[in-house]
A and B are shown apart, each in its own frame.
Chain A
Amino acid sequence: MKFARDTWLIFQRQIQLLLRNPVWVFVGVFQPVMYLLLFAPLLKPALNAPTQAAAYKIFVPGLLVLLAIFGGLFQGFGLIAELRAGVIERSRVTPISRLALLLGRSLRDVVSLLVQAVIITLLALIFDLRVFIGDLLLAYLMLALIALMTSAVSYGVALKVKSEDALAPLMNTVAQPVLLLSGILLPLTFAPGWLQGIANWNPFSWAVDGTRALFAGDLGSDKVWQGLSITAVLAALGVYWAARQFARSVR
């Protein structure tokens, strides 16, 4: 009960600050929209898709996963600013739940990601993308879990390194191979065997496959439950690890 209240308290505060500066929505959405408008049209011929809509069914889920990964991984920067301002230290001398300090922030990130995901989906509708609402909601759940994990990990790393200068290259180094090995831009069905072999070890590749299956309306596909389970487990691990960083001493 106390934990839920504490989480809600931090979440409210974070959302309030976010709404005070709504520029973030446009900044966050700008890049994916560029991909949607300037890159996606190349896909129909490249993927040999029968229609533009079919190409979007493959591309949009990948784009959303990309948004969740990157959006989450770079949240640590905000935390470093809070660390520097002494806000985290001030919170840590109160009896507030340490997990709530993390989760309140990560849930804000999840909400802001979902708002962006909805905007992208709506734009894609203009380009004849059609998805069943139930499948779409499950896909959003997958995105929420990914964002929860990546933002929690980013916060945990931020608490460890405590400096933007260290966080930026670290996150880029992680994000780059993760991105390429997840078949986000092009499906890995085109990849040679060795590359697919490596990609099988990339959890995000499973998440992308699962999300694609959902967008394709293939709810019964094994990929759906596999992707959801893997991301759920990873999200739990990420949150657990990051919450421990919040509980430990922070300078």
Chain B
Amino acid sequence: MIETRGLRKSFRSRAGRETKTVDAVRGVDLDVAKGEIFGFLGPNGAGKTTTLRMLATLIEPDGGEATIAGADLRKDPAEVRRRIGYVPQGGSTWDESTAREELVLHARMYGINKADAQRRAARALDAFQLTEYADRKCKTYSGGQRRRVEIALGIIHEPKIVFLDEPTTGLDPQSRAHMWDEIRRLRADGMTVFITTHYLDEADALCDRIAIMDNGEVVAEGTPTELKREISGDVVLVGLDLAATPQAAQTLDGEPYVNKLETVDEGGLRLYVDEGATAIPQVLRRLDHAGLELRSIELHRPSLDDVFLTKTGRSLRES
């Protein structure tokens, strides 16, 4: 459904007299299959939104190619526009309009005639449980209601693919759960859904496949399970005082069951082991033997954050 090769974009930014070129996206290759929820995971500034905006024809790539729903992004952006829907991050509704007006107008921007546009608007309002507020001005809506209107706008013309830029940012947990259901419903209707997110749990729970993006590049791609499996084994988090950390690192480094060892900035160790259950008693014994007191010990199944950490050397939570 989406196939990109070497998609690039750089921006010029000016600070005082100097112009600096920022490579926002440095060669992205993606393959998104029909009918899947594909997630773009990465910290703010990783280039997710820039990539999405390129795919949605809003900014022109500097280089590379992309085919979206069968249309060539570079040669025929107008055809791409007809086949995709796009829901921007910062909202897209006008305070003084009603949801119904927005939906009808938006459908008509796709060339749909008035009667059909009205029918579609009514159907979308119903599907997104907005009928009750349909004729009130958008400025009276709650955050969750407004986001639902925006998603309805993005799919009013029944696109093959819909791009959602951070669809749940700023929503309370309950609206967020609702939004996940809505997004799954889009997939059930046969749509391909492409979302960006910086929430690990969202990528994990919602997406069929994800690409992890950092610094303008895709650093990993696969199903959440595959990605987590790549990090073989478990992670043992050892909580220690900052002062005790170096000695503990020394003690445990080179132990046969420790595949990899990292120190945590605030004090403590992160141990990558094959089998957490057998590693923990040995860790405890060794540290006790060395006379080191530990504050806590935790066993972690690998999370997407660990994937991110091994690929980029940073934690997504920190960045």
A interface with B by C-beta (< 8 Å): 2, 6, 9, 13, 16-17, 20-21, 82, 84-87, 89-96, 249-250
Which residues of chain B (132-159) have a CB below 8 Å from chain A?
A: 153, 157
Residues on A with C-beta less than 8 A from B153 are 90
Interface presence of B4 (CB below 8 A): no
Are A249 and B59 neighbours in the complex by a CB distance under 8 Å?
A: yes
For B157, the closest partner residue in chain A by CB is: A94
Which listed residue, A2, A6, A21, A95, touches B96 by the CB 8 Å rule?
A21
Interface presence of B82 (CB below 8 A): yes
Which listed residue, A6, A17, A95, A250, touches B81 by the CB 8 Å rule?
A95
Are A91 and B58 neighbours in the complex by a CB distance under 8 Å?
A: no
A236 to chain B, nearest CB (A): 24
Cα A2 to Cα B111 with chains together (Å): 8
Main secondary structure of the interface of B (DSSP, over half): loop
Are A249 and B97 neighbours in the complex by a CB distance under 8 Å?
A: no
Task: Identify 11 residue pairs between A and B in the complex whose beta-carbon atoms are under 8 Å apart, listed by A's number.
Answer: A82-B94, A85-B93, A86-B91, A87-B93, A90-B86, A93-B57, A94-B110, A95-B78, A95-B82, A249-B60, A250-B58
Residues on B with C-beta less than 8 A from A20 are 96
A8 to chain B, nearest CB (A): 10
Segment from B101-109, B167-175, B210-218, B308-316 that makes contact with A: B101-109
Cα A110 to Cα B91 with chains together (Å): 29
Are A89 and B88 neighbours in the complex by a CB distance under 8 Å?
A: yes
Main secondary structure of the interface of A (DSSP, over half): helix
Are A85 and B110 neighbours in the complex by a CB distance under 8 Å?
A: no
For A93, the closest partner residue in chain B by CB is: B86
Given A94-B110, A249-B59, the answer on whether A87 and B94 have CB atoms closer than 8 Å is yes
Which listed residue, B60, B95, B106, touches A85 by the CB 8 Å rule?
B95
Residues on B with C-beta less than 8 A from A9 are 105, 108-109
Are A95 and B110 neighbours in the complex by a CB distance under 8 Å?
A: yes
Cα A166 to Cα B93 with chains together (Å): 24
Residues on A with C-beta less than 8 A from B57 are 92-93
A181 to chain B, nearest CB (A): 33
Are A90 and B92 neighbours in the complex by a CB distance under 8 Å?
A: yes
B290 to chain A, nearest CB (A): 56
Which 8 pairs between the two chains have the least Cβ-Cβ distance? A86-B92, A90-B92, A94-B109, A93-B86, A249-B59, A96-B109, A95-B81, A86-B91
Which residues of chain B (55-110) have a CB below 8 Å from chain A?
A: 56-60, 78, 81-82, 84-86, 88, 90-97, 101, 105-106, 108-110
Cα A222 to Cα B88 with chains together (Å): 53
Cα A91 to Cα B105 with chains together (Å): 10
Residues on B with C-beta less than 8 A from A250 are 58
Cα A9 to Cα B101 with chains together (Å): 12
For A6, the closest partner residue in chain B by CB is: B109
For B104, the closest partner residue in chain A by CB is: A13
Cα A17 to Cα B95 with chains together (Å): 11
Are A17 and B105 neighbours in the complex by a CB distance under 8 Å?
A: no
Residues on B with C-beta less than 8 A from A90 are 86, 88, 92, 106, 153
Residues on B with C-beta less than 8 A from A85 are 91-95
For B95, the closest partner residue in chain A by CB is: A85
Are A89 and B58 neighbours in the complex by a CB distance under 8 Å?
A: yes
Are B90 and A86 neighbours in the complex by a CB distance under 8 Å?
A: yes
Given A86-B88, A249-B59, the answer on whether A91 and B94 have CB atoms closer than 8 Å is no
Residue in A17, A90, A92, A96 whose Cβ sees the most chain B Cβ within 10 Å: A90
* 9 further A-B pairs in the complex, CB-CB below 8 A; given A84-B90, A95-B82, A249-B59: A85-B94, A86-B88, A87-B93, A89-B58, A93-B56, A93-B58, A93-B84, A94-B81, A95-B111
Residues on B with C-beta less than 8 A from A87 are 92-94
Residues on A with C-beta less than 8 A from B78 are 95
Are A91 and B109 neighbours in the complex by a CB distance under 8 Å?
A: yes
Given A85-B94, A86-B90, A86-B91, the answer on whether A92 and B106 have CB atoms closer than 8 Å is no
For A20, the closest partner residue in chain B by CB is: B96
B155 to chain A, nearest CB (A): 12
For B105, the closest partner residue in chain A by CB is: A13
B169 to chain A, nearest CB (A): 14
Cα A2 to Cα B109 with chains together (Å): 10
Cα A95 to Cα B85 with chains together (Å): 11
B241 to chain A, nearest CB (A): 48
Residues on B with C-beta less than 8 A from A17 are 94, 96-97
Cα A16 to Cα B137 with chains together (Å): 13
Residues on A with C-beta less than 8 A from B91 are 85-86
Cα A95 to Cα B108 with chains together (Å): 10
What 0/1 readout, one digit per residue, does chain B (190-202) give for beta carbons within 8 Å of chain A?
A: 0000000000000
Residue in B88, B90, B108, B109 whose Cβ sees the most chain A Cβ within 10 Å: B109
Given A2-B111, A89-B88, A249-B58, the answer on whether A94 and B94 have CB atoms closer than 8 Å is no
